[in-house]
Amino acid sequence: MINREKAFELLHKHLITENLRRHCLASSVVMKAVAQKLGQPAEDWEILGLLHDMDLDITKGDMKSHARVAVDLLSSEGLPEDYLHAILAHNEESGAKRSSVLDHALAASESITGLIVACAMVYPDRKISSVKTKSIAKRMKEKRFAESVSRENILECEKAGIPFTEFVDLALAAMSSIEDKLIN
């Protein structure tokens, strides 16, 4: 497995869009918190969260090739097969099916980041630390709010073994710890 420094190097080499980098950073801290909760290797899951969307600038919105390009780039970097599969499976259009705790955790973690940031942006102070779990639960039911965020993917936290409310608490705490790096 590559280390965090190498992961950041790869991310910055292949992904130049700042908002996408922020999304990857948010996903990484949520994945780390999920790993800690589940007794999994936190640094490795953090790296997975960081790299899962590293090909978005390369694929330019072509969802049929998104994640496949990332897997191709990462296959020579020593990532385990289950990590590569989780990256591939986080994109429904890749055709890969989610089956493991890792697959479900990545799909849920990377999806919740968008909903949390969207909620923070409608708060007067625009701070993640101001967002409450009940606000996320309310916004989950509002299909038109942050409509590109898959609510079904977020709910896969339960397939990973973490109840929804606990998952939201965990994600909010993780993202709040680095909110200065996530929102300008």
Residues (pLDDT < 70) of the chain are none
Q: What is the pLDDT of residue 169?
A: 98
**How far apart, in whole angstroms, are the C-alpha atoms of residue 136 and residue 72?**
35
| Domain ranges across the chain | 4-182
Q: What pLDDT does 41 receive?
A: 98
Residue 78 has a pLDDT of: 87
DSSP 82-149: HHHHHHHHHSGGG-PPP-SHHHHHHHHHHHHHHHHHHHHHTSTT--GGG--HHHHHHHHT-TTTTTTS
pLDDT for the residue numbered 154 = 98
Which DSSP symbol is given to 40? S
Please tell me the predicted confidence (pLDDT) of residue 184.
74
Q: Which pLDDT belongs to residue 79?
A: 92
pLDDT score of 133: 97
The per-residue pLDDT for 72 is: 95
pTM for this entry: 0.97
User: Domain spanning 4-182 has what CATH number?
Assistant: 1.10.3210
* Amino acid 61: pLDDT: 83
pLDDT digits (tens, 9 = 90+) for 116-138: 999 999 999 999 999 999 999 99
**Tens digit of each residue's pLDDT (9 = 90 or more) over 90-117:** 999 999 999 999 999 999 999 999 999 9
